Amino acid sequence: GSSSRGYVDGDHKVVTLWYRAPEVLLGCHKYSCPIDMWSIGCIFSEMVTGKPLFRGDSEIDQLFRIFRNIETPTEEIWPGVSKLPDYKASFPNWTQNNIKCHVHDLLEKMLIYDPMSRISAKAAVNHPYFDDLDKTSIPIRN
């Protein structure tokens, strides 16, 4: 679920570039746990494939690598995206969704644009991908 506490920062550099969530790259200054799930999704993909998922060398390059692999976000798939400070209507419109080629359902749920729709940590641990994991050793708080 969503956290009632948010993090506020005047600088986009709260997370290493390759793992930075699109809402941070687009200038959102108030965010919470969903940015961590995006980062975990990127790290999960790297663990599965052995290489970084989005290897940008600048914030705009990072955004465009995300857009090319998932698709350019629209109001339909991410309500409010066009109101983010660094969103540009002139962004290229990539429509293919290539993420399915190299990761599975869990990664797709971690890498959802809309932070309110992104999977929570608790739901991720309970995802079928982890069915063979002994969850009794994982400290999970409500």
pLDDT at 141: 65
Q: pLDDT > 70: what percent of the chain?
A: 77
Distance, C-alpha 131 to centroid of its chain: 23
21-70 tens-digit pLDDT: 999 999 998 888 999 999 999 999 899 889 899 999 999 999 999 998 88
Of the candidate CATH numbers 3.40.50.300, 1.10.3720.10, 1.10.510.10, 1.20.1270.360, the domain formed by 7-137 belongs to 1.10.510.10
Task: Tell me the CA end-to-end span of the chain in Å, nearest whole number.
Answer: 10
pTM: 0.71
pLDDT at 75: 97
Give the DSSP letter string of the chain.
---S--EE-SSSTTS-GGG--HHHHTT--EE-THHHHHHHHHHHHHHHHSS-S---SSHHHHHHHHHHHT----TTTSTTGGGSTT--TTS------GGGGT--HHHHHHT-SSTTTSPPHHHHHTSGGGTTS-GGGS----
pLDDT at residue 100 above 80?
no
pLDDT at 129: 73
Spell out the domain ranges in the chain: 7-137
Residues 6+ apart with CB under 8 A from 9: 29
